[in-house]
Amino acid sequence: MTELRGLLLLAGELVPGVLSLEAGRIKAVQPGALDPDEEPCIIAPGLIDLHIHGFGLREPLSDLAGMAQALARAGTTAFQPTLFPAAPSRLGEDCEAVWSARGKLPGDAADPVGLHLEGPFVNPDAAGALPRGDLALPSLRALGEILGSATGDARGVRTVTVAPELAGADLLIAELVRLGVRVSLGHSRALAIEARAATRAGASGVTHLYNAMGGATHRRAGLAGLALTEDVLFAEIIGDLVHVEREAFDLALRARGPEGLCLVSDALAGAGTGCERFEACGREHIIQDGAAYYPVGPERAEPQLAGSALAQLEMVQRLVAQGVLSLPEALTMASATPARALGLEGERGSLAAGLRADLIVLEPESLVLREVWLAGKALGTAS
């Protein structure tokens, strides 16, 4: 049996104590005073990213194993590989390829806990950086082409982003819910009443709050307004302070608290590399202040925000350093809340007896990653 001592993230607070690990699981959690002479490290659950397209110059379709290994070394121990829109039949093939690769991952890799499809059933007027030509109107036939046989595992699809205002979205959402696939509302110009109807039909998430959706006003609350007030919706929020400014971040935190917000990276392949330029999905990107952009070119006069270039832990460090979140808030939003959003709180996301021993250990002041543990085995730190 292995014991780790330090400040444990327990129920949203950092509490001194001892964590006992055995057979890949947390065996016991013992809060209590530590040796006064030791400087306690911070021990938290491994982070869970609901929305990530790539990392370490790797993407789910080309190198899921390399991406998962790089993520684990950066403190994210579970994630939803997130695929861009494509023609339904092609997207189904892509899902099949990625999910098949999951069974071949090495032991030092983060765990893909299901695929997230960011479209194609989203509003072209709120496409953002998504390719408009690959979007599709909601239809049960198109959904069948993506998910495959009804007797299969839906090709690993766990979350689908849908714009609820589109024609046919109501039937699509009902079918996804019936199949046990999580619906996240996003890339949308929905009115609040349209978003609420989708919520009543079973939608339970919001894709990157504020981004690619209309802002809330006093006569048009929209999807953003509903996400700030509807407790059954787990709202993703990108934590690079580029996608969402600190005041808007503070508004979301005051409205929903860390239990209603999931800190996601929305990272592209260049994240985790320190590079200034990279190519992803056949397009050139540049990195500025932790965010990824399409550069200036014939089709645009200024760079277009395309995604993030930070890992979840880097976002935690940035948000805490700038006083936007406390450390317990940031860690909760990156671990326990995403686990609850996926219905995985009985398996991961918290420090509790019986759960997987997927952990991160941080230096107490700098929050530098000291160790990562996967299923009770130490991997060391990110390079």
Mean pLDDT by 10 residues, the chain (383 residues): 95 96 96 83 98 97 97 98 96 96 95 97 95 95 90 87 98 97 98 97 98 90 96 98 97 98 97 90 90 85 91 98 98 98 98 98 96 93 44
Q: What is the pLDDT, as a whole number, of residue 382?
A: 44
pLDDT of residue 160: 98
Give me the CATH code for the 46-345 domain, please. 3.20.20.140
- Supply the pLDDT for residue 298: 72
> Given 49, 266, 289, 358, which residue is catalytic?
266
Phi first, then psi: what are they for 271, rounded to 5°? -65, 145
Q: Give me the pLDDT at residue 300, please.
A: 76
pLDDT at 155: 94
Instruction: Say what the pLDDT of residue 380 is.
Output: 66
Q: Which residues of 126-157 are buried (b: 16+ CB within 10 A; e: fewer)?
A: bbbbbeeebbbebbeebbebbbbeeeeebbbb
Supply the pLDDT for residue 383: 39
pLDDT at residue 201 in the model: 97
Nearest residue to 349 via CA among 333, 338, 336: 336
CA dihedral sign, ordered 70, 75, 81, 83: negative
266 catalytic residue (yes or no) = yes
Amino acid at 248: A
Strand ranges for 40-107 from DSSP E: 42-45, 47-52, 76-83
Residue pair 22/376 in contact by the 8 Å Cβ criterion: yes
Residue 169 · residue 199 · CB < 8 Å? no
- In this prediction, residue 150 carries a pLDDT of 61
Cβ-contact 39, 352 below 8 angstroms: no
Chain-centroid distance of CA 200 in Å reads 23
